[in-house]
Amino acid sequence: MYRNILIATDGSALAEKAVAHGLQLAKAVGAKATALIVEAPFNVYGVPESRVQQMSEAFAQHAAQIKQHAGKVLSQVADAARAAGVACETVQLEHDHPYEAIISAAKDKGCDLIVMASHGRSGISAVLLGVLMIYFQFLPDWRVLTLPLFTLLAFLAALGPGLLLAALNVRFRDFRYIVPFVAQFGLFISPVGFSSDVIPANWRLIYSLNPMVGVIDGFRWAICRGYSHMYVPGFMLSVAVIASFLWLGVWYFRRWDWKRNRGVGR
């Protein structure tokens, strides 16, 4: 599937999670990893006027700082890769625009997947995805027309449990403390940072009891031109689970709302 995975990091806590996911994926598919950190180049205009005469000294200080920072971050990635049993190459670059350096490094190193964290900047991740797909000439085919279907499934997959949890939260006041743990657990068992193809075949159908498995696999199938295969029995099972949760959520919400309006069960 993948032969060389580029893992971009800046040493932040969020990037460390991306590194962990990238190494886990590389180990699962038997790929090597290329860890990349992009540092900002020396900014001449950032030197105070009082230090203009010591420009060379400021440049040397900057070079030493980024070398120390990059070395520390990359050594941590290399240690994590060694512990995971993944072959890892480390690369340090300087560039004003990190995304351009990431694309260039992916091309130079022959990487077929980029793993990086998002800092939650609205719209940037979508733009970056579009730039990468255009640059690598990996444009969607007719399958992209099915995206509205999977978007609707994602909405329904959230609506059913949402209605159920809303009613339970009203009836049992302490139930709201359980919700974050349920959401975190759901994230870990969903194929977000890895492909469901790594699940053994005899467990694949059981794994599809998680309704988000079919939704996420559907998005991958639609965007990646079928390179990520759709497991049809699992997808149908996920749809059935979504429909069941939707019916259960609507039924319980309306039932408890009816009782609450009539003062029953308080």
Q: What is the pLDDT of residues 89-101, one digit of tens each?
A: 999 998 888 888 8
The Cα 88–Cα 148 span in angstroms is 38
Binning pLDDT at 50, 70 and 90, where does residue 33 land? very high
Looking at 3.40.640.10, 3.40.50.620, 3.40.718.10, 3.30.200.20, the CATH number of the domain 4-135 comes to 3.40.50.620
Sequence-separated (6 or more) residues with CB below 8 Å from residue 265:
171, 256, 259
Spatial distance between the Cα atoms of 109 and 103, rounded to a whole number of angstroms: 10
Distance CA 45, CA 134 (A): 34
pLDDT band for position 199 (cuts 50, 70, 90): confident
Q: How does pLDDT run across 60-89, given as a tens digit for each residue?
A: 887 888 889 889 999 999 999 999 999 999
> What was the pLDDT predicted at 78?
92
Q: What are the boundaries of each domain within the chain?
A: 4-135, 142-261
Report d(CA 104, CA 135) in Å as an integer: 10
Residue 48 has which token pair?
Answer: 């105070």
- 183-206 per-residue burial string, b: 16 or more CB within 10 A, e: under 16: eeeeeeebbeeebbbebeeeebee
| Euclidean distance between CA atoms 12 and 157, whole angstroms | 32
Query: How far is it, in rounded angstroms, from Cα 212 to Cα 8?
Result: 27
Residue 137: which pLDDT band, with cuts at 50, 70 and 90? low
171-196 pLDDT tens trace:
787 777 888 888 888 888 888 877 78
Residue 260, phi-psi category: left (phi > 0), alpha (psi -120 to 50), beta (remainder): alpha
